[in-house]
Structure 1
């Protein structure tokens, strides 16, 4: 059942002033103290308010306070249950298959900003028809995914064998399966409780999310791969309801537009880079084990990642896509922004 809210169109009929002064309610599913809300969402909202001379107010609601669940954010925005928000397309496996090319193992560099610039280019070329039900403001990636375990840091692939590990997306869980772990697909909000209850032995997520998820308390070791490329990455969009955007006067649309596209995508990715530095420092200060896999073990994981990519290409081909072309396009976008 859809949540019904007053729309801009209704407000416009109510009074001329209401058409000029609007409140936009944007929702997300993480702590307001985590990196993207702190370094992107709130500054973005502040910029919109300042540049509109206070005529647009953006209210941010963390932890899905307006209702619904994180995997359903796209539909909540499209249906008008919220005016806008943060979407992880991968939380609905199979619905946005072309987006997965950016999430394949070792596809992106470890710079969230650079990966996000690539994500915007790839989105413009391949994904806008997939997101035709919403108005896309930005498309971005986070920083490198890290292996967080309740036990010691792994030194060999065998150390991951049989572990129950959380994964955020289908490509990530496919890689965890290749590594010999038991992958458990799970959105961010469920991760800490699953760790606390012993359902999981660990999982993969960024440095920046670690403090807000209390991974300094719930896990003991944090391990990255060697080299410049991320073990995995995750694709996001920051979007708003199409009718709400269309209902804005042209001068207020221009404010949204001025804070959209490549600049907003890079900004969102940069927020994750800032948060990664803070998160890693927090885990270090807690006395947790900070580790990096050897180049030799990393090479073994890269080879398994290539198998994931090959399987993904074959799967996409079977669905009528040109899987190899999608992978090549994603790689070209990443290379252009290294």
Structure 2
């Protein structure tokens, strides 16, 4: 073999090695940009205290290789009920949304929205994740990568006129977030008006609705305490209602990540993350309530004994849900029993 041939072989080998090293370095330094889309203003509690800290943590733990762009208040277009489709079809990469915004599509999640199910948001969120893993992950949510599943703190009735008895709801137009809670408002005597949370401020100010059911934590961003002067809380161990949320990622986008970046996402997903999100959201109920106190609004807290009457009136909502679930091929009573047992389990810890 002559000298020229040897030099050619060495040069080819060097080029191949350099190419391999460049490709390897490129892979290791790969940058991924994920777009997170959601429906509330950036300063609202969930974006500010749940989603932003989560996104910051993912970016940090990826060594800056993952960048999460945050788009609040539907800045990328569409309406809140369209968020789940945006994640599924890849219009965006990650969304925070309510499964209940698309009625009938994720029926198993509704079990946690049934009246007087929730104890604390942290315990109920742990139960929700468990049930998601065992009943929903490979069924209703099979086309999405669910990163977290949680609920908010106790639901409260915010109204123009006081609500102390169920009869006070008669003829009152009350905003409700999901199908189950709409059924609950109707069963209790109110006239439910379904609408996403961002529409509440304008609807109250224009008299389209007379009240709304929301947790305390969202009150400041909607200025509810300025638009109504009555707030009805429910005493006892279980809340009037809660709403389910998911942080959902486009499945193809997740699958396209290199294994080490998948691990970063996985480390910031699951039951503990879901429980933290629920706990954090409920934590911000107190500052929201304090704004109403500062305005000297009328805060009505029903005793456990008074709440018993509401519980009895709400029973048909639960029975109807079980029947409907059975009709959809879901064993409604079994799912309800399992959800209650899980909530009890995590509440006792």
TM-score (norm 2): 0.89
Compute the displacement of 1:18 (Å): 9.5
Number of aligned residue pairs? 323
1:286, 1:31 → 2: CA distance?
23
The CA RMSD over aligned residues, in Å, is: 1.6
- Is 1:84 matched up with 2:84? no
- Is 1:95 matched up with 2:105? yes
Alignment of 1:121-132 (within 5 A): 121-128=130-137, 129-132=139-142
1:32 alignment partner in structure 2: 42
Compute the displacement of 1:17 (Å): 5.8
| Structure of greater relative contact order (alpha carbons < 8 Å, 6+ residues apart) | 1
Compute the displacement of 1:33 (Å): 1.9
2:15 alignment partner in structure 1: none
Deviations 1:109-129 (A, max 9, x none): 1x2112111111111111112
Tell me if the contact between 1:211 and 1:283 (Cα under 8 Å) persists in the aligned partners.
no
Deviations 1:286-325 (A, max 9, x none): 2222221233331111112222101111122223321111
Question: Is there any run of 5+ residues in structure 2 with no aligned partner, and where?
Answer: 1-22
Question: Is there any run of 5+ residues in structure 1 with no aligned partner, and where?
Answer: 1-12
SS for the counterpart of 1:32 is: coil
Q: Which has the higher helix share?
A: 2
Deviations 1:28-76 (A, max 9, x none): 1012222221221011011011111111111111101011110111110
- Is 1:69 matched up with 2:69? no
1:204 alignment partner in structure 2: 213
Tell me if the contact between 1:175 and 1:304 (Cα under 8 Å) persists in the aligned partners.
no
Deviations 1:246-281 (A, max 9, x none): 111111111111110012101210221121111111
- Is 1:55 matched up with 2:65? yes
Compute the displacement of 1:245 (Å): 0.8
TM-score (norm 1): 0.92
Tell me if the contact between 1:137 and 1:238 (Cα under 8 Å) persists in the aligned partners.
yes
2:77, 2:245 → 1: CA distance?
20
